Amino acid sequence: ATAPRGINAYWRSLYLKQLDEPAVARLVDCASNFKSPFSQIHIHQLGGAVSRVSSKDTAFPHRESQYLMNIVGLWMEPSQAEGVIQWVKTTWTSLAPHSTGGEYANFMGEPIERVKAIYGDNYQRLVEIMC
């Protein structure tokens, strides 16, 4: 439990090809515009064992990505909602050119129709396994 009682959340994620200077510059610019003191940007380094499995061997297709970024907008007051949600969307859009095009399913935000895009070519196989 890292969030205070009563906190609201909206988040998006994206996988990054690399964390080069242009991506870092955009990241710093976006982070300097937090709309709530609770908001966060998480960067998880990938690679290692995850990247040694073929993307076609499991439902998880983002094995070539070097980083996963979660953009987490958190707020307490209802009056902050619009600004925080817009900050998350703007940050995601700003960093999207540096992404692989994928999102982490647990942090995909909206719309739900993106589920198929998240799993890419592996989506049909996942449906078959789950049915």
Provide DSSP, 16-57.
Answer: ES---HHHHHHHHHHHTT-SSTT-EEEEEE--GGGGGS-TTS
* Residue 47 resides in a domain: yes
Residues 48-56: what's their mean pLDDT?
71
Question: pTM, whole model, 2 decimals?
Answer: 0.77
CATH number where 90 lies: 3.40.462.20
Name the 3-class secondary structure at 65: coil
Let me know if residue 115 belongs to a domain: yes
- Which of 54-58, 63-67, 107-111 has the highest average model confidence (pLDDT)? 63-67
> Which residue range(s) make up the domain with 32?
8-130
Quick one: average pLDDT of 46-51? 75
Query: Does 60 have pLDDT greater than 70?
Result: no
Helix/strand/coil for 99? strand
Which pLDDT tens digit goes with each residue over 67-101?
889 999 999 999 999 999 999 999 999 999 998 87
How many domains does the chain divide into? Answer: 1
